[in-house]
Copies of this chain bind each other. A is one copy, B any other.
């Protein structure tokens, strides 16, 4: 069953209105018609099973058949802070991270970040990244679309972190502490941050700064992963251990 997102304001009594490019997609690409059923999430905590009542290119009117209650218990929230990788690799991180269950992406600028973005290209990139997160959330039938924040410096990012959460920073220079050594201390977890360095790795002072803010510096083992792989690896492990 196809899955779409709307804003809470698009839900009125027993009706849901899907607008813009999603309406066009329903009408022209998926060619759904009156009577077809889809699911719609308001991006917050409501999920609806709906029947299409009227399909037009600019707006699709749906009738709510069933309001599916979502567990309101705290769920696992995972923030992936990823130093901006080269070329289009951030897109891969956001698409795959969304499928895996990352809740929030924070693109980082570190000392050794190679990519330089001016204000205009940041806006373009951010728009594209949000669209990728949105599409991946639809495809993987997530209830919420993960946030993608504006790129900030590692220092700013670290200062904003909730230090009571688990903060993981994989680093090539760490030899003694494995990811497993840290994670095996937790039976349950509802909040984690993962901070991934750029192609050239973190500088020692960046690691020291993170340590001061309670980050756990870990080794991912003998294999060296590319920057975009490291974040997806740690996200996979965290979601497996704490996400269901």
Check A225 against B180 for contact (C-beta < 8 Å).
Answer: no
Q: What's the interface size class on A, roughly?
A: 20 to 34
Check A229 against B100 for contact (C-beta < 8 Å).
Answer: yes
Of the candidates B139, B180, B222, B243, the one whose C-beta lies within 8 Å of that of A226 is B139
Q: Which residue of the partner chain B has the closest CB to A233?
A: B236
Within 8 A of B (CB), among A214-244: 221-226, 229, 232-233, 236-237, 239-240, 243-244
A140 interface hit (Cβ, 8 Å): yes
Most chain B beta-carbon neighbours within 10 Å: one of A142, A222, A236: A236
Of the candidates B225, B226, B237, B240, the one whose C-beta lies within 8 Å of that of A179 is B240
Q: What residues on B are CB-neighbors of A239 within 8 Å? A: 233
Distance (whole angstroms) from the CB of A25 to the closest CB of chain B:
18
Distance (whole angstroms) from the CB of A227 to the closest CB of chain B:
11
10 contacts between A and B (CB under 8 A): A92-B92, A96-B229, A99-B225, A99-B229, A100-B223, A100-B225, A140-B223, A221-B243, A232-B236, A233-B236
